[in-house]
Amino acid sequence: MRARIAQGALLGLLSVAPFQMAQAESPAGFVDAYYLPWTQLKVDAGDDVDGDVDGDGWGVKGLLKLTDQIAFNGEYQRSDYDGPSKLDSYRLGAGYYWRYFGATAEYINLDIDSGDVEGTADGVGLFLRTSWLATSGLAFTGGIGYVRLDDGGETLDGLEYNLGLDFRITRNLGVFADYRSTNLTENGVDFELNDARVGLRFVFGV
């Protein structure tokens, strides 16, 4: 009798296991829709030649986890500065995540249009990221990395960092806020991109 019970339990586990594995391996991730209440472009060419423009903007970004460790990420952002200037940026990358930390590599494209002058720079960014759960539903996030872009044969490169927090309202809906600063240099000219972002997070696959 005990043998039959054990055999039945084993068959039951075997029949459930594929379903559980399918659930665990199903895609998971999130999509963020956000607003930039403040975005800034600063230029410093030295010898008291500098300036900055402010504005606002919007964007969408997301992450798709293929496994617990491997994920793809993407982002589109539009910054509209005071006057005719605007900046479109695109990012697409992949990363490896372990517990509270991650390492990502991204393709980055910046397309600026200031009315009379247009320019595009693209290249790569390498980042270390972290996410720390402070309390149930609330997490602090951060990252730092190196960005290297090509601008018509010239090189822009420098550091980028971001700090933020995420709060999960329900199982599939949350809010987030973060600040990102990208500091690039080209032939002695410093460019600084600063973004404050707030938005909604739609979580799937959980």
What is the tens place of the pLDDT at every residue in 95-133?
999 989 999 999 999 999 987 778 999 999 999 999 999
Residues 6+ apart with CB under 8 A from 171: 203, 206
Residue 10: pLDDT over 80: no
- Alpha carbon dihedral 46, 57, 141, 73, in 10-degree steps, equals -100
How many CB atoms sit inside 10 A of residue 145's CB? 19
Domain topology for 27-204: Lipocalin (2.40.128)
Q: Residue 27 phi/psi, 5° resolution?
A: -60, 145
What tokens appear for 30 in the block?
């999130």
Residue 23: pLDDT over 70: no
157-179 residue pLDDT tens: 999 999 999 999 999 999 999 99
Sketch the domain layout of the chain as residue ranges: 27-204
